[in-house]
Structure 1
Amino acid sequence: MSDIIKMNHNEFAFFNQQLAAMLREGIPLEGALRQLSSEMRTGPLRDDVQQLEAELARGTPLKDALARRTLPEFYKQMIEIGARGNDLPGVLIMVADHYHRTYAIWTRLKGLMVYPALVIIVALGLTILLSLMLDRFLATFFDYGLGQPPQRLLMLASIWVTPAILTLAALVGVAIAAMPRLRTRLRWRIPGFREASLAQTASVIALLLKNGSTLAEALAFAEGLEANTSAGKSLAQWRQLIANGAGKPSMWPPPTKPIPPLFLWLVRSGGENLAAGFAKAAEIYHARASYRIEMALYGALPVSILILGQMVFWQIAPLLQSMAWLMNNLGGN
Structure 2
Amino acid sequence: MPAFEYEALDATGKKSRGLITADSEVAARRELRGRAMAPLSIRYADQRAERRAKSMGERSSGFSLAPSNLSNRELMLITRQMASLIGAGMPIAETLGLIAHQGSKHHAKRILTAVRARVTEGEKLSTAMDGFPNSFPPVYRAMVAAGENSGGLDAVLERLADYLEKDEAVRSRVTGAMIYPAILSIVALGVVALLMTFIVPRIAEQFVGMGMDLPGLTRAMIAISAFLQVGWPFLLAGILVLVVISVLALRQEPVRRSLDGFLARIPGLGGFLEHAESARFCRTMSILIDSGSVLPDALRAARRAAGNLAFRDELGKVIRDVESGRGLSDAMRNRGWFPPLSLFMIAAGERSGALGEMFRRSADQLDQDVDRTISVGLNLLEPGIILVLGVVVVTIVLSILLPILQLNTMALG
Q: For residue 325 of structure 2, give the secondary structure of its aligned residue in structure 1.
A: coil
Q: Report the counterpart of residue 319 of structure 1 in structure 2.
A: 400
Q: Is the 8 A contact 2:185 2:385 kept in 1?
A: no
> Could you tell me which amino acid in structure 2 is paired with residue 24 of structure 1?
G
Summarize deviations over 1:158-190 as a string: whole Å, max 9, x none: 6699xx9xx97xx78993797252564466552
* Matched residue type, 1:49: L
Q: Where do 1:1-333 residues align within 5 Å?
A: 8-38=71-101, 39-43=103-107, 45-70=108-133, 71-108=136-173, 117-118=182-183, 120-130=185-195, 131-138=197-204, 146=210, 150=214, 153-157=219-223, 175=246, 179=250, 181-182=256-257, 184-185=260-261, 188=264, 190=269, 191-226=271-306, 229-246=309-326, 248-249=327-328, 252=331, 254-270=333-349, 271-321=352-402
Gaps of 5+ in 1: none
Cα deviation per residue 1:19-50 (whole Å; 9 max; x = unaligned)?
A: 2222233433233323323422355x554323
Question: What is the deviation of 1:285?
Answer: 0.9
Shift of 1:7: 5.3
> Quick one: distance in 2 between partners of 1:148 and 1:174?
45
C-alpha distance in structure 2 between counterparts of 1:23 and 1:232, whole Å: 33
Q: Give the letter for the 2:94 counterpart.
A: G
Distance 1:227 1:296, change over 3 A: closer
CA distance in 2, matches of 1:244, 1:15: 39
Q: Deviations over 1:246-266 (max 9, x none)?
A: 3x4466573313233332212
TM-score, normalised relative to structure 2: 0.64
CA contact (8 A) 2:86 2:154 kept: yes
* 1:212–1:186 distance in 2 versus 1, CA, 3 Å: farther
Moved more, 264-273 or 108-117: 108-117
CA displacement at 1:95 relative to structure 2 = 0.5
Question: Counterpart of 1:240 in 2: which secondary structure?
Answer: helix
Task: Kindly state the Cα deviation for residue 213 of structure 1 after the two structures are TM-superposed.
Answer: 0.6
Structure whose residues are more often strand by fraction: 2
Q: Which is worse superposed, 225-234 or 34-43?
A: 225-234
- How far apart, in 1, do the equivalents of 2:70 and 2:263 lie? 19
SS in 2 for 1:27: coil
| Residues 219 and 239, structure 1, Cα contact 8 Å, conserved in 2 | yes
Which sits farther off after the overlay, 185-194 or 279-288?
Answer: 185-194
1:84-107 per-residue CA deviation (whole Å, 9 max, x = no partner) reads 333322111110111122233445
Q: CA RMSD in A?
A: 3.9
d(CA) in 2 for partners of 1:297 and 1:267?
31
SS of aligned partner of 2:338: coil
Q: Which has the higher relative contact order, 1 or 2, with Cα contacts under 8 A spaced 6 or more apart?
A: 1
- Measured after TM superposition, the shift of residue 305 of structure 1 is 2.0
Find the aligned partners of 2:357 and 2:284 in 1 and give their Cα distance: 12
Q: Calculate the TM-score normalised by the size of structure 1.
A: 0.77
Alpha-carbon spacing, 1:275–1:188, altered in 2? closer, same or farther (3 Å): farther
Percent same amino acid among aligned pairs?
Answer: 24
Q: 2:57 corresponds to which residue?
A: none
Deviation at 1:299, TM superposition (A): 1.7
Structure 2 counterpart of 1:301, one-letter code: E
CA distance in 1, matches of 2:367, 2:346: 15
**Pairs aligned (count):** 319
**How far does the alpha carbon of each residue in 1:253-310 deviate from its partner, in whole angstroms, 9 at most, with x for none?**
7331323333221212323111112112211111111111111112222222211221
1:148–1:242: structure 2 CA closer, same or farther, 3 Å change rule? same
Q: Distance in 2 between matches of 1:316 and 1:14?
A: 53
The alpha-carbon deviation at position 212 of structure 1 amounts to 0.6
Where structure 2 has 5 or more consecutive residues not aligned to the other structure, the ranges are 1-67, 228-234
